[in-house]
Amino acid sequence: MLREAIRQLEADVLVVAGDLTAAPDLLEATLAALRPAAREAVFVPGNHDLWCREGEPTSRERYEQIVPGRARAAGFHALGAEPPPRLCGHRFVGVTGWFDYTLRNRDLDAQLTPASYEVGRFGVLQWSDKLRVRWPADGAGLLDDVGICDAQVRALEAQIDAIGAEPAIAVTHHLPFAELVTSKGVLPWDFLNGFMGSSRLGDAIRRAPGVRLAICGHTHFRRDERVAHARGPLRALTSPLGYPREYKRGGQTLAERVAERVTLVELA
């Protein structure tokens, strides 16, 4: 159903912005099933794709080796693990991203301390990446969230520097702009906003003279916004399928959800 919906759009490039599965075999099979739907295809992994357990390959190994290899085997360009490809007249730059709590609801800072985000727990809510992500540093120990985000921002900036002013599309999994965050102004919901992404990803994209579109995943809400950019308003889009329980709760069928969320963007 999903592949056919994409195929009917006759898209030149299929963009998949992560969160398929932590099982490498299933990830490759899913991407391979989608690949015939468009002429070209690009992929960045999401945080769920990088989850691991003790004794398994680390999240960093998954990000740098396992997931890119599986994506390439399925016929996708693995953004962040290869030079930015030039597809249909545009360069594609991308990284997973990460979160550094800069997209949190700052109106709630009196109730949420930095330690709340560092631990990843508020009341009954537990952010699962704290339990399932292990990212070794270049030296000893593991990187924390801010350290992972630092490395991801630097990687994105390096790609942007490499393409200069060429027309480009930026793809991240985590949100790069506050305008894409869905806030409700209440707890415990807005505790989760701290883990949505990083404003520093957006700063890097804003400095890229050729970027014409930013695409991301992670949030389960569809948002289509115009954000400030050096060359004028930039379209920033996230349109995920989300979990079946979410759309079923709203009375949607899978077919209706696919029709609502699969999005065609036309660039001149």
Residue 41 corresponds to which tokens in the numbers above?
Answer: 């295809």
39-57 residue pLDDT tens: 999 999 999 999 999 999 9
- Mean pLDDT over the full length of the chain: 96
Q: Which positions ≥6 away from 178 have C-beta within 8 Å?
A: 103, 199, 202
Looking at the predicted structure, is the pLDDT value of residue 29 above 80? yes
What's the CA gap between 127 and 149, in Å, rounded? 16
- Confidence class for position 66, pLDDT limits 50, 70, 90: very high
Q: What is the mean pLDDT of residues 219-245?
A: 94
114-162 residue pLDDT tens: 899 999 999 889 999 999 999 999 988 999 999 999 999 999 999 999 9
Q: Could you count the other beta carbons within 10 Å of the beta carbon of residue 207? A: 13
Percent of the chain with pLDDT over 70: 100
* CATH homologous superfamily for the domain 2-261: Metallo-dependent phosphatases (3.60.21.10)
State the pLDDT at residue 230: 85
| DSSP classification of residue 202 | H
DSSP run (H or E) holding 237: strand 234-238
The strand pairing partners of 237, in sequence order, are 215, 224
State the pLDDT at residue 1: 82
State the pLDDT at residue 17: 98
Looking at the predicted structure, is the pLDDT value of residue 260 above 90? yes
Looking at the predicted structure, is the pLDDT value of residue 177 above 90? yes
State the pLDDT at residue 262: 95
Secondary structure of 192-206 as H, E, C letters: HHHHCECHHHHHHHH
State the pLDDT at residue 168: 97
State the pLDDT at residue 250: 86
Q: What is the mean pLDDT of residues 228-242?
A: 94
Looking at the chain, the number of H-run helices and the number of E-run strands are 10, 11
Percent of the chain with pLDDT over 90: 92
State the pLDDT at residue 268: 73
> Rounded to a whole number, what is the largest CA-CA distance in the chain?
50
What's the gap between Cα 175 and its chain centre? 7
188-218 residue pLDDT tens: 999 999 999 999 999 999 999 999 999 999 9
